[in-house]
């Protein structure tokens, strides 16, 4: 009769090496230094969290119409409620704000359709890039179909911030592509024009460009010809981000193997054909994360228009916190602004990381 | 194929070289024409508005105060001097910001890699919060929400000889007495000696393999020689302590709130970006390198210093350079909270008073261009020094 080998069942692992206890020992208390760091971190959390929670939630006032309603010792969120419309739309007339909302909904629908891929993408992208801006412009500015005219000086808040960011990035894209191609080109004059432009813009802060746009552009134009401040600032922002965009795109162009250029030449394609049909589609796909990052930077940088006297989200908040009937609401205002910007930028950076992961295998051989 | 057919197919317009030439001539013509057109408009406009041109205004009295000045400056001084004051303010805040941001960035970058879960999480929260909020908002926060809510001078917060109130941070101000030259001379001497020591130790190690604790001994050398020089010259330093009178704090060294707000905002914001760069740099060094170093018997500190760090630095330095450049450029945001740096003084007050937009904006762009160029030249030199020398 065969002897059956029967191992005794394994003992359970020691209590210290599994579960929560092991996790705490490994991650928080593995060495004297670690114990000290853990205690120190807890101390910092203890210093920060209870006061913030108490101020922001426990003793805060959430609704009300004036400063007098804020009787608690904590934050006065009623301030945000009262000024919310200004923070979103600036001084845009209240009864006309539906126009901004409509334009936004239209954009979301268009982009949504684009992502879902049900219709002809070419027509749709022409619609988004060419037709939509015209519709949006007339919706915002008015003056046609009986829409009331709204001066651009009334535009403000998050609406202006988004407008500056989106127009800046969309308008700077073609310019950036041209500059990047110019910088890569073998024609010495074209190349040096592009390099001088890109490097000059990148060497100076955005604020000098904005000052230039708001103070110097009128001096360079012939007598009697002048355009609106918003347009001047938009030109400044577009030129600024075009220089950065060009560098991002150049990175993509350099990442395309030389064989692709040679293959395009061998097919007898002209320069523009080989760029538009072969090189750019590959290069641009590679730099989508870089473009999103440029957009995040630009979105944060739009706050600088406040310095040249335009009231974007931060500008409106700055104005509201200096309102004498709401004194002492500075932190609430900044907390709200910080939250909005953080949400937008963090969301976009996560999105760009997702794309990066999705496209990661692009040029690696499997 | 005969020569004849080839030449007949070759129109000049189909030749790539000719086309490129034509295109470039057209481009150049357009650039020159646009430049000329803008310039002629400019001259007409300036003549119309009666604005003078040229840099003569730099010698005229400025007539406005600059609150923070590290060299003597009064309202009677010239625009030129105001420009120099502003330039110094910009350079000082940029350099201090770069140093502080690097320290914060390295600490936070290492903290994100810590094997202590809590520390790593806190560092992540720090980085993700500060990176995603506009710098201008952070500056406003420090200036209007934190420093402006400090008590009035009468109720200053006191730490020993340091006072903290609405008007800034007051600290003891060292004042040098006669004979301080000896201390300075001793200090410089000790630094020269330490450099010589380090060079000698390195040479000897390459030649013989013998190791000498050059860094620690040069630190000791600097401390001992400087202290000796202090003792010999009879401690020629006195501290001007800030004094609290009934309603005010006088004396001492004052860090104005504008300066503190700009410095804190710049260095914490850029520090968050540097933390990511440091983390990415260290993670880019293959784990095998660490294992190889350990199997050679190097202890952890040496593994980090001799194996991981030099390789990580190669990845870190180029993006670090662009962060330094960003910081220098971002110091211009100080204008928004009245820190008297270049943009505030030159493109703000001077431009408003003289109306000479071209000269002032040009001057500013020139300075920022030079500052950027200097930083990148220095960092490129350092990068070259650190880069892999392949044989």
pLDDT of residue A1: 65
pLDDT of residue A323: 78
d(CA A273, CA B244): 76
**How is residue B166 annotated by DSSP?**
T
* pLDDT tier at B10, thresholds 50, 70, 90: low
A contact test, residue of B132, B329, B333, B375 with most A CBs within 10 A: B132
Contact indicator for B238, B175 with CB cutoff of 8 Å: yes
Minimal-distance CA residue of chain A relative to B368: A204
Question: What digits encode the pLDDT tens for the residues B23-68?
Answer: 888 988 998 999 888 888 888 887 877 777 777 777 888 778 787 7
Phi, psi of A239 (to 5 degrees): -60, -40
Question: What digits encode the pLDDT tens for the residues B136-150?
Answer: 999 999 998 888 888
Neighbours of A320 (CB within 10 A): 21
Q: Report the complex ipTM.
A: 0.86
H or E element that contains A250: helix A229-255
CA distances from B207 to A338, B194, B204, B390, B391 (A): 58, 20, 5, 21, 20
DSSP reduced 3-state for A85: helix
Question: What digits encode the pLDDT tens for the residues B147-200?
Answer: 888 887 777 777 777 788 878 888 887 777 777 778 888 888 888 989 999 899
- The CATH number of domain A78-92+150-357 is 3.30.420.40: no
pLDDT of residue B390: 63
d(CA B357, CA B363): 10
* pLDDT tier at B391, thresholds 50, 70, 90: low
Question: How many Cα atoms within 13 Å fall on the side-chain side of residue A364?
Answer: 5
d(CA A88, CA B136): 19
DSSP reduced 3-state for B169: strand
The string over A158-188, giving b where at least 16 C-beta atoms fall within 10 Å of a residue's C-beta and e elsewhere, is: bbbbbbbbbbbbebbbebbbebbbbbbbebe
pLDDT of residue B140: 92
Where is pLDDT greater, at B7 or A8? A8
Identity of the residue in A189, A219, A303 whose CB atom sits nearest the CB atom of B45 = A219
pLDDT of residue A342: 94
CA distances from A284 to A176, A250, A290, A292 (A): 11, 10, 10, 12
Quickly list H helices, chain B.
3-9, 16-49, 79-112, 117-131, 135-140, 180-208, 214-232, 257-283, 287-295, 300-302, 309-330, 342, 351-354, 357-386
Which residues of B fall within a CB distance of 8 Å from A338? 133, 137, 141
* pLDDT tier at B299, thresholds 50, 70, 90: confident
Residue B276 has pLDDT above 60, yes or no: yes
Each domain of chain B, given as residue ranges in start order, spans 13-47, 79-145+258-386
What string of DSSP letters covers B293-328? HHHTT--HHHIIIIIIHHHHHHHHHHHHHHHHHHHH
Do the chains contact at A338 and B133, CB–CB below 8 Å?
yes
d(CA A263, CA B56): 59
H or E element that contains A87: helix A78-89
pLDDT of residue A365: 40
The string over B233-248, giving b where at least 16 C-beta atoms fall within 10 Å of a residue's C-beta and e elsewhere, is: beebeeeebbebeeee
CA neighbor of B53 nearest in space, from B69, B66, B42: B42
pLDDT of residue B103: 94
H or E element that contains A196: helix A188-203
What string of DSSP letters covers B24-54? HHHHHHHHHHHHHHHHHHHHHHHHHHT---S
Contact indicator for A292, A351 with CB cutoff of 8 Å: yes
Which residues of A fall within a CB distance of 8 Å from B361? 208, 211-212, 215-216
pLDDT of residue B2: 44
Which residues of A fall within a CB distance of 8 Å from B368? 203-205, 208
H or E element that contains B176: strand B173-176
d(CA A7, CA A22): 27
pLDDT of residue B9: 56
Nearest CA to CA, how far is B223 from chain A (Å)?
A: 29
d(CA A331, CA A321): 9
Q: Residue B385, class by beta-carbon neighbours within 10 Å (0-12 exposed, 13-18 middle, 19+ buried)?
A: exposed
CA neighbor of A206 nearest in space, from A165, A174, A176, A173: A165
The token pair that represents B66 in the structure block: 């600059």
Which residues of A fall within a CB distance of 8 Å from B333? 205, 207, 304, 307
Do the chains contact at A306 and B373, CB–CB below 8 Å?
no
Question: What digits encode the pLDDT tens for the residues B196-233?
Answer: 998 999 899 888 888 888 888 888 888 888 888 888 87
H or E element that contains A140: helix A132-141
Radius of gyration of chain B, Cα coordinates, nearest whole angstrom: 29
Lowest-confidence segment of A159-168, B70-79, B238-247, B278-287 by average pLDDT: B238-247
Token match 């402006």: residue?
Answer: B148
Contact indicator for B76, B85 with CB cutoff of 8 Å: no
Contact indicator for A268, A218 with CB cutoff of 8 Å: no
Do the chains contact at A41 and B122, CB–CB below 8 Å?
yes
| Helical axes A132-141 vs A97-116, angle rounded to 10° | 170
The token pair that represents B258 in the structure block: 């504008």
H or E element that contains B255: strand B253-255
Q: What average pLDDT does chain B have?
A: 84
Question: What digits encode the pLDDT tens for the residues B336-348?
Answer: 888 888 888 888 8
- The CATH number of domain B79-145+258-386 is 1.10.3720.10: yes
Minimal-distance CA residue of chain A relative to B357: A216
pLDDT along chain A (366 residues), means of 10: 83 81 82 88 90 83 78 79 82 79 82 72 77 80 75 83 89 91 86 88 89 82 77 91 92 87 90 89 85 90 89 88 80 90 90 77 46
SS3 content of chain A, % helix, strand, coil (to 5): 75, 0, 25
Question: What digits encode the pLDDT tens for the residues B90-128?
Answer: 999 999 999 999 999 999 999 998 888 899 999 999 999
CA distances from B89 to A151, A339, B94, B349 (A): 39, 32, 8, 15
Which residues of A fall within a CB distance of 8 Å from B365? 200, 203-204, 208
């Amino acid at each position: 009769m065969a002897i059956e080998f029967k191992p005794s069942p394994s003992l359970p692992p020691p209590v210290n090496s599994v579960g929560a206890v092991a996790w705490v020992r490994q991650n928080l208390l593995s060495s004297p230094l670690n114990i000290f760091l853990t205690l120190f971190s807890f101390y910092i959390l203890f210093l920060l969290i209870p006061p913030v929670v108490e101020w922001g939630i426990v003793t805060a006032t959430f609704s009300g119409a004036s400063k007098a309603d804020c009787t608690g010792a904590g934050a006065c969120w009623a301030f945000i409620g009262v000024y919310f419309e200004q923070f979103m739309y600036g001084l845009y007339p209240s009864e006309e704000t539906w126009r901004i909302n409509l334009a936004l909904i239209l954009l979301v629908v268009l982009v949504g359709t684009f992502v879902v891929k049900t219709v002809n993408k070419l027509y749709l992208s022409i619609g988004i890039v060419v037709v939509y801006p015209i519709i949006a412009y007339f919706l915002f500015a008015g003056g046609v179909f009986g829409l009331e005219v709204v001066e651009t000086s009334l535009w403000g808040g998050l609406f202006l911030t988004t407008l500056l960011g989106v127009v800046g990035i969309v308008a700077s894209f073609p310019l950036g592509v041209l500059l990047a191609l110019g910088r890569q080109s073998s024609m010495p004059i074209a190349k040096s024009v592009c390099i001088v432009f890109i490097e000059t813009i990148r060497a100076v802060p955005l604020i000098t460009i904005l000052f230039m746009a708001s103070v110097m552009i009128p001096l360079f134009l012939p007598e009697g010809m002048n355009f609106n401040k918003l347009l001047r600032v938009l030109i400044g922002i577009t030129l600024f981000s075009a220089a950065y965009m060009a560098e991002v795109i150049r990175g993509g162009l350099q990442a395309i193997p030389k064989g692709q250029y040679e293959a395009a030449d061998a097919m007898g394609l002209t320069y523009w054909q080989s760029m538009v049909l072969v090189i750019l589609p590959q290069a641009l796909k590679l730099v989508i994360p870089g473009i999103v990052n440029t957009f995040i930077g630009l979105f944060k940088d739009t706050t600088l228009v406040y310095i040249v006297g335009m009231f974007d989200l931060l500008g409106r908040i700055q104005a509201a916190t200096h309102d004498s009937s709401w004194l002492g609401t500075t932190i609430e205002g900044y907390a709200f602004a910080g939250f909005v910007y953080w949400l937008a930028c963090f969301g976009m950076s996560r999105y760009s990381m997702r794309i990066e992961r999705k496209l990661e295998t692009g040029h690696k051989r499997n | 194929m005969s020569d004849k057919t080839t030449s007949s197919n070759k129109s000049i317009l189909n030749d790539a070289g000719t086309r490129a030439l034509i295109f470039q001539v057209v481009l150049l013509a357009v650039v020159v024409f646009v430049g000329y057109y803008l310039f002629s408009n400019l001259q007409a406009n300036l003549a119309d508005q009666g604005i003078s041109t040229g840099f003569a205004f730099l010698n005229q009295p400025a007539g406005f105060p600059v609150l923070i000045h590290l060299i003597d400056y009064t309202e009677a001084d010239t625009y030129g001097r105001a420009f120099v004051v502003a330039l110094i303010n910009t350079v000082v805040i940029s350099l201090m910001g770069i140093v502080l941001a690097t320290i914060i960035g390295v600490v936070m970058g290492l903290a994100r890699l810590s094997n202590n879960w809590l520390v790593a999480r806190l560092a992540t929260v720090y980085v993700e919060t500060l990176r995603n909020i506009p710098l201008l908002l952070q500056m406003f926060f420090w200036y209007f929400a934190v420093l402006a809510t400090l008590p009035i001078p009468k109720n200053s917060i006191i730490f020993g000889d340091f006072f903290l109130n609405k008007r800034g941070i007051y600290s003891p101000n060292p004042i040098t007495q006669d004979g301080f030259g000896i201390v300075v001379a001793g200090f410089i001497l000790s630094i020269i000696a330490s450099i010589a020591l380090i060079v000698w130790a390195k040479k000897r190690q390459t030649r013989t393999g013998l190791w000498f604790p050059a860094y620690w001994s040069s630190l000791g050398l600097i401390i001992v020689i400087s202290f000796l020089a202090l003792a010999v010259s009879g401690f020629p330093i006195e501290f001007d302590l800030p004094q609290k009178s009934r309603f005010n704090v006088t004396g001492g060294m004052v860090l104005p709130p504008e300066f503190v707000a700009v410095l804190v905002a710049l260095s914490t914001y850029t520090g968050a970006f540097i933390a990511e760069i440091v983390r990415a740099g260290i993670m880019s060094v293959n784990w095998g390198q660490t294992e190889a170093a350990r199997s050679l018997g190097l202890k952890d500190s040496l593994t980090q210093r001799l194996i991981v760090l030099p390789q990580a630095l190669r990845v870190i330095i180029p993006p670090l350079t662009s962060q330094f450049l960003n910081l220098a450029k971002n110091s211009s945001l100080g204008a928004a909270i009245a820190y008297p740096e270049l943009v505030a003084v030159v493109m703000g007050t001077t431009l408003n008073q003289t109306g000479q937009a071209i000269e002032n904006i040009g001057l500013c762009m020139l300075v920022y261009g030079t500052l950027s160029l200097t930083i990148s030249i220095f960092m490129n030199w350092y990068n070259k020094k650190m880069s892999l020398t392949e044989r």
